[in-house]
A and B are shown apart, each in its own frame.
Chain A
């Protein structure tokens, strides 16, 4: 290990250079959101000396009705995450704790369902949503997200609940606790770490989704942020700096969430991955 320590400086330099190249696309997008289009083509990589402006941020904000899309994306995300967290942790409880052939088979089916792509249900789903009067609604989108994220959520919750000692549940049974009370009073507080991970993972996925909202929410008054950003492409192709500004606005809420909950995100995904 001593030998490795002596070599660490050149290694660190190589890492810094490689990381710099890696981060270049992000640097480029952020830096150019605050420049005029002429400056974007003339000096794409320079930091603003006297050209800094918030004009393009406000352009996108007003022209593309940012607040309205924020509201729709926000409602869908909050609703979907609340449904995923509550219903999947409840469903995972018997899968982790009750020994029965039914639950073993159910669990196997759930793990298999994780790999299925949403597109395979696309054609019938559009008809199903129409028949349920759910297309063009926040509830429709949120429920589709709930259904398609449920297998992974149940998988994560079941894996985590299995690490909780069985004695706890047995003690609760002896004390006369029913299953619902055991779940609510004993398990819910204990599974907080995986709930935190699920909140950030599924909030990111639902927030970032494009396809579900694109096929089900075509009402121009109700665009999610991602659909709105994508449909801005045609209008601002010659003013890409406005698009860069739009990207910053679209990413901002989820980046704030990520920076606060970064540890849970990474821990949750790696824990789920390694246990699986």
Chain B
């Protein structure tokens, strides 16, 4: 083949490739890409949701958003959910994975399935189960507290502003820990046993082995797990909605719920689209920073 023919061949491949991508791209264009850009566009306009007319109002929606009562609490709740969630899920999953990654254990795969099971259940089901856990009086937590004689600390778990987010996060950790645990286990099983054996011969203790062998070699799994949990926590809607609907008032409302409330309860499209834009930029920026910093740590 001469080079002109080769270039023609490659060009044809690119064109065919574009045809391959066309169907899925069309679906994404109509139901994903265009709506997202419409959100950007609408966030600078005054629109009532029904008429085709809307008026350009600059950054007014964004200023109104800053002045809204619930927004500070909402942002704080989201930060609390994803920072505490990330730390707890990763910390506990890593510890559990190390405990499960032993040759002597009889039922490692059974444990794996058990911890993974909640992840498969739907957010609505898990939320309804945890509603029953937190019920006053006959709920599981209160029943156990009664058994051990600690009824005095019992309260309306999902009804108190200072308590509700903690309760939500505990349930969320329970729900989401399985996948993180499984990824850590897969990472641990990739570490050659010889490394530990030679470290033991050199007289390294358990903790030293963990810090000098396990943690560095687990870096890719840590990167992925942190990213996974952060992104999932920032995207979550169904679970907090079905557990508390953001209540009491707005004390467990996260940003995704707030966007929904702006759209369907109270019909504040301007605030909803402005919040969507800010949130999108925040998530993209945060993922980029996480990929960069965690990725760099991996190379060392």
Contact = CB atoms under 8 A, between A and B. Distances in A.
Contacts of B237: 117-119, 210-211
A161 to B, nearest CB: 12
Contacts of A127: 49
B38 interface: yes
A115 B283 contact: yes
12 contacts: A41-B138, A44-B143, A98-B17, A113-B28, A113-B32, A116-B36, A120-B39, A120-B280, A123-B42, A127-B49, A147-B27, A254-B120
A115 B287 contact: yes
Interface in B218-235: 220-221, 224-225, 228, 231, 234-235
A15 B100 contact: yes
B120 A258 contact: yes
A74 B100 CA distance: 36
Interface in B269-300: 269, 272-273, 276-277, 279-280, 283-284, 287
Given A123-B272, A240-B132, A276-B224, A150 B27 contact: yes
Contacts of A123: 39, 42, 49, 263, 269, 272-273, 276
Contact of A146 (B27, B138, B187): B27
B3 to A, nearest CB: 16
Chain A interface main SS type? helix
Given A117-B237, A226-B124, A19 B224 contact: no
A113 B273 CA distance: 18
A25 interface: yes
A276 B294 CA distance: 13
B75 interface: no
Contacts of A15: 99-100, 105, 111
A148 to B, nearest CB: 6
Contacts, number: 262
Nearest to B279: A120
Interface in A182-216: 183, 204, 207-211, 215
- Sorted nearest first, the 7 A-B pairs with minimum C-beta distance are A94-B17, A8-B104, A208-B122, A124-B38, A121-B35, A147-B31, A120-B276
A222 B278 CA distance: 34
Interface band, chain A: 35 or more
Contact of B102 (A8, A98, A270): A8
Given A87-B24, A150-B28, A274-B221, A12 B105 contact: yes
B260 interface: yes
B122 A94 contact: no
A8 B129 contact: no
Contact of B16 (A115, A179, A226): A179
Contacts of B186: 270, 274
A164 interface: no
A31 B159 CA distance: 27
Interface string B213-257: 000000011001100100100110110011000000000000010
A210 B122 contact: yes
Q: Which of A22, A124, A183 has the most B CB atoms < 10 Å from its CB?
A: A124
Contacts of A102: 14, 18
B138 A128 contact: no
Given A23-B114, A269-B179, A179 B17 contact: yes
Interface string B81-96: 0000000000000001
A243 interface: yes
Contacts of B114: 19, 22-23
Given A147-B27, A273-B224, 9 more contacts: A11-B99, A94-B14, A97-B17, A117-B234, A120-B276, A122-B259, A179-B20, A211-B238, A211-B260
A250 B122 contact: yes
Interface string A90-132: 1101110111101100100000111111111111111110001
Contacts of A11: 99, 102, 104-105
Interface in A126-177: 126-128, 132, 143-144, 146-148, 150-151, 154
A146 B27 CA distance: 8
